[in-house]
Amino acid sequence: MTNNLDAITPEASAEQIFEISGTRFEPEAAAELWPRILQHKWLMSEKLGRDVGLRVACIDFLENMELADREYLAYKRQDLLDEMGARSISREYWDGISDSQPPKQIVQRKIILPLTRPDLSQKHGVVPPKAIIFFGPPGTGKTHFAKAIAGVLAWWFIEIAPSMLLVEGTAKMGANLRAIMEKVRTLDEAVIFIDEFEELAGRRDEADRLDKSVTNEFLKQVPLLKSESKNLLLVCATNYIRQLDDALLRPGRFDCIIPVGGLNEDERATILQHYLNKLCAGEVDLNLLVKMTSRFTPADLEYLFQQVAQYAFEQELATGTDYRVTTATILEILPKIRPTLTEEIITEFEKDSLTYSRF
Ligand SMILES: Nc1ncnc2c1ncn2[C@@H]1O[C@H](COP(=O)(O)OP(=O)(O)OP(=O)(O)O)[C@@H](O)[C@H]1O
Ligand SMILES: [Mg+2]
């Protein structure tokens, strides 16, 4: 597409369209149509893999004007989704989480049900959250929950990594965040996930000037996102809720601040069973394993089973005979894994839960 085609006057646009199609438009109308005809020419060329002539594109556009505009928007939307690394997430993430896990219950009550029953939520004036924070120790499942929400709602999952904001150096971080959020707001259905949120939205009294500008930008962006009537949900995750700026934590910005902590016996049983199903297992005492993994996070359990799988693989390789994982196999490996949750981490988390939780 050449620049001189882009830059023609309204009168010249009307003339061009008339010459090609025999239809005369007022110059203002023609000026509005002309860029859309050029867009259509570009889209047809992209689709057909060859340069489509202006005449063909113009006639096709005028014949299918509404459809052509919709197609162009859909195409651009896909471009944007690709650019932002949008992923669709399987519903299995959500289904695999034990129903007794408190964050799942909160999300189900406050987000999923109001969205799936818009009639009832409208009747009672329930507004589903648009911005939430998950906080808790490492490996407890914050990222997993964010993905699970996208999966169960069948919305796009888009992660904004700090590196995306750093592409042009630290000085542009605030501006990049603004640009990304502007794009996000054009989407219809998406979960926007920001991990290690304290890195981007730390306390301004402890931050240097650049960090401050990003925190300030967040303070502006959250209300903007919330004012959109689209299906957009911002999910931020942090291990260090205390490091977030107070202004962000006050009611009005984030709708829910949800703790994600250790697992109870039921929840551990669900996850243990999930990993056991993937092993080549013989007799395994699930109840015993549940008792012996009280300080394990989901990440620790995943690591434990990776080690067990590797062990079983090597055993069969060495002996050449069928190897089945038993309780004894797991008990041999278990002591070698140090669980993430210590007395101290649990106490701190409980304190934070009292201070910061809101849902
Ligand atoms: N409720 C759950 N059920 C099953 N598996 C889970 C659950 N929560 C987390 N996992 C698995 O445990 C691992 C760690 O979870 P995840 O990465 O979500 O933790 P996190 O809280 O985001 O950790 P970090 O603070 O380090 O970012 C992942 O492989 C995830 O798939
Ligand atoms: Mg995470």
Q: What does the mean pLDDT of the chain come to?
A: 90
Q: Is 228 exposed, middle or buried (0-12, 13-18, 19+ CB in 10 A)?
A: middle
At 191, the amino acid letter reads V
Q: Which of 262, 296, 331 marks a domain boundary?
A: 262
Average of pLDDT values for 141-156?
Answer: 96
Residues 199 and 293 placed together within one structural domain of the fold: no
Q: What is the pLDDT of residues 95-132, one digit of tens each?
A: 999 888 999 999 999 999 999 898 999 999 998 999 99
Residues 205 and 150 placed together within one structural domain of the fold: yes
- Residue bearing the CA closest to ligand 1, atom 8: 141
Residues 155 and 302 placed together within one structural domain of the fold: no
Cα–Cα dist 60/275, whole Å: 55
- Residue bearing the CA closest to ligand 1, atom 30: 144
With a cut of 60, say whether residue 2 has pLDDT above it.
Answer: no
Cα–Cα dist 307/323, whole Å: 15
Q: Output DSSP code: residue 167.
A: T
* Token representation of residue 346: 């649990």
Q: What is the pLDDT of residues 260-283, one digit of tens each?
A: 999 999 999 999 999 999 998 888
Residues 68 and 18 placed together within one structural domain of the fold: yes
Residues 63 and 129 placed together within one structural domain of the fold: no
Tell me if 140 CB under 6 Å of ligand 1: yes
Residues 258 and 269 placed together within one structural domain of the fold: no
Number of neighbouring beta carbons within 10 Å of residue 306: 11
Complete DSSP assignment for 261-277: ----HHHHHHHHHHHHH
CA of 137, closest atom in ligand 1: 25
Cα–Cα dist 158/191, whole Å: 6
CA of 263, closest atom in ligand 1: 1
Q: Which residues of 27-54 are buried (b: 16+ CB within 10 A; e: fewer)?
A: eeebbebbeebbbbbbbbeeeeeeebeb
Pairing assessment for the beta strands 156-159 and 256-259 based on DSSP bridges: unpaired
Q: Which domain holds residue 116?
A: 87-262
Cα–Cα dist 43/72, whole Å: 7
Name the range with the highest mean pLDDT among 21-35, 160-174, 262-276: 262-276
Residues 235 and 127 placed together within one structural domain of the fold: yes
Select from 91, 106, 143 the residue to mutate for testing ligand 1; criterion: most ligand atoms less than 8 Å from CB: 143
Say if 348 falls within a structural domain.
Answer: no
Residues 226 and 311 placed together within one structural domain of the fold: no
CA of 136, closest atom in ligand 1: 21
With a cut of 80, say whether residue 202 has pLDDT above it.
Answer: no
With a cut of 70, say whether residue 7 has pLDDT above it.
Answer: no
Tell me if 160 CB under 6 Å of ligand 1: no
Tell me if 138 CB under 6 Å of ligand 1: yes
Ligand 1 centroid–CA 106 distance in Å is: 17
CA of 298, closest atom in ligand 1: 12
Say if 359 falls within a structural domain.
Answer: no
Indicate the number of domains in the chain: 3
Residues 220 and 128 placed together within one structural domain of the fold: yes
Ligand 2 centroid–CA 111 distance in Å is: 20
With a cut of 60, say whether residue 1 has pLDDT above it.
Answer: no
Q: Which of 262, 287, 317 marks a domain boundary?
A: 262
Say if 279 falls within a structural domain.
Answer: yes
C-beta separation of 110 from 128 below 8 A: yes
